Structure 1
């Protein structure tokens, strides 16, 4: 069981805001109404069909679509480019008491790359399978679904005659998948953001396939670990002890066992996915390149691998550091390591800067 966390006023406000936005029953609608399920799904598909995959996202087409959605529900909007070619769309739903701290609903427009040949349906077709109700598209989870949920919640609330007491802002930023430095980060440090007087911000979460809703009170810290092994190079026909690749494989096996132990807790229902340390290999690099591929008769002198690690707030980061030092990248096996992004120490990405600015304002 995860260690209980005492609810704070910030946590309770988050949960109440979530309930307000997503659990108010929709007004009755006709089949052709803009709030009908078919229209909601159609708008979601249109957003998914805009290719905003890194490294060449079509930000402007996404911005045009979002502004058209704001126009359709009579909300003022604007496109702001803190960096040329990377628009951030800001939509405003005025509250009855605009002097109160506002609510910011944040999402990002870019998505990670997709390999079309590995998909059952083209990743930007937003194909709807009528038998299962599933939509196949890059960004359907991370995180165009959340951005459209915000818009559809506002659409339904407005149609029901509801007006918020606090002003509500919807922000759709670029470049989150590559750090958010030109989008959310510059937004967080801007006069535009300060003028919003944000009291609470809602960011990413996981989609709920059923009718129950899970509030998220914290997030796992990302560590990007690169481990490197070195050894004497040698002919491919020779056998050597402690070669670079051999030492790296020992580390990979140790990491695999740890990953399996964490995953077993999830499979057994003893932990939720966000309550364990996840470790996934991101890359593996070794060998000497040749014009046709790699030199096949040479054992390389260096080998390295990269891992995406996510640590829950209930885990002990010092224990993980010791494990990395002693088991995964020990000096005794001629290994070194580097933590590329340690959120406790490294500069924050754009999303976290926004959240931290709001927290500091509360304090």
Structure 2
């Protein structure tokens, strides 16, 4: 009987020591398992078809809300325009008197030519090198998910923010942001958020340095129209519609080359020059089989996508268009659509839409330091070559920084076969962890003493 009791005691001791180990080994995922789950969530988001012009915002919204619920984040869905939901998530800080941080991302993506892709653009296929092929893998579903995954890891580590952190998932950035961020930035909802700094999207970097953007070029869409008397296809004469248009195209081409030469020579960055690209050409007299080949048309037009940095003289460019590119003396006319509301390079106080990159802006310094703490390298500050939603935040006077943690990655936004390597994606999560910790913990000089006095 005594031996039986000893045996029972040994079995009980064994169960107390071994069973918890077995249980923990089953409930605590390994690092590989955790990374696999992170990538799976990213793939799930990428597979939601939010391509313009018919993005499935309902499905993307439900996905984001599910993620927010799993992280115990506060959430709200706002529709400034019907069927265009804007999702705002909040991780409350311990000191509500401190202004908040906003990390913004857009949910829509541009359409794809499926036949031009090596893997389906909505498949989120991972190749042997670990590259995740999908529309939005760079622009910019990666960033939105990296925000969430960074919060997941910070919460698991026991971190608690002092400042409140907001995440916004917005619609329609790819078509101008008028029904998304533009309305948000001018709303009472946004005022109540008391935001101090905004971080939005950047670009991939082909080298080891992350790219940081402090301003962006505004968009001018120029359409030049030319008129002239119609004539026989065999006749040579001056001032035909197409001859006048070709003269303008050649003048514009030379201007484009002069700007591009500065970039090629390394004298200026891509975002520092005025870029001009012809994107459309319309001419000819239609016929049932195509065009009338023996008739010179009386009208012709060309469209140009122009990007203007905040350092450029907009009045000088407008004068150039009127006097050189489309002069009335050559039977030319023109229209410039500057995204209308997005046509100015100054904020509501008349200040240039440029975020400071020196010591006067602690947010810039904190961002650089946070990236370096996460073993990242930072390149020279840049002007974003295109335009993004961050424009609207700068327009209301907020500092805003463009950044996407994608180093050693080809720039493939809006391109065929857009991809992001999964190792680079995972590294970016750690970078955002470092940024969130630095930003939400920041207390301005003088405020520290005030808090000690309050204590």
Structure 1 residue 171: deviation in Å? Answer: 0.6
Separation in 2, partners of 1:105, 1:340: 29
Separation in 2, partners of 1:243, 1:347: 43
What is the CA RMSD across the aligned residues, in angstroms? 2.7
Separation in 2, partners of 1:331, 1:242: 12
What corresponds to 1:353 in structure 2?
392
Change (3 A) 1:209 1:98: farther
What corresponds to 1:214 in structure 2?
211
Alignment of 1:206-245 (within 5 A): 206-208=203-205, 210-245=207-242
Deviation string, structure 1 residues 318-359 (Cα, Å, up to 9, x no partner): 332333233321223211122111612899997533433353
Separation in 1, partners of 2:153, 2:207: 20
Q: 1:75·1:93 contact (CA, 8 Å) conserved in 2? A: yes
TM-score by length of 2: 0.66
Deviation string, structure 1 residues 130-157 (Cα, Å, up to 9, x no partner): 23x4333222332223222322332332
Larger radius of gyration: 2
Match of 1:120 among 111, 118, 121: 118
Match of 1:99 among 94, 97, 100: 97
Which runs of no fewer than 5 residues in structure 2 stay unpaired?
1-28, 349-387, 400-455
How many residues are paired up?
329
Alignment of 1:221-300 (within 5 A): 221-300=218-297
Separation in 2, partners of 1:40, 1:253: 51
Separation in 2, partners of 1:299, 1:259: 28
Q: 1:185·1:351 contact (CA, 8 Å) conserved in 2? A: no
Separation in 2, partners of 1:125, 1:240: 55
Alignment of 1:57-72 (within 5 A): 57-72=55-70
Structure 1 or 2: larger helix share? 2
Higher relative CO (Cα under 8 Å, sequence separation at least 6) belongs to 2
Separation in 1, partners of 2:143, 2:54: 22
What corresponds to 1:146 in structure 2?
143
Which runs of no fewer than 5 residues in structure 1 stay unpaired?
1-27
Structure 1 residue 211: deviation in Å? Answer: 4.7
Separation in 2, partners of 1:308, 1:352: 18
Structure 1 residue 282: deviation in Å? Answer: 2.2
Matched, 1:336 2:351: no
Match of 2:167 among 163, 167, 170: 170
Residue aligned with 1:218, SS:
strand
Change (3 A) 1:326 1:179: same
What corresponds to 2:446 in structure 1?
none
Change (3 A) 1:30 1:347: closer
What corresponds to 1:3 in structure 2?
none
Change (3 A) 1:272 1:353: closer
Q: 1:186·1:350 contact (CA, 8 Å) conserved in 2? A: no
Separation in 2, partners of 1:340, 1:232: 28
Matched, 1:315 2:312: yes
TM-score by length of 1: 0.81
Deviation string, structure 1 residues 225-245 (Cα, Å, up to 9, x no partner): 111111111232333322111
Residue aligned with 1:39, SS:
helix
Structure 1 residue 110: deviation in Å? Answer: 1.2
What corresponds to 2:132 in structure 1?
135
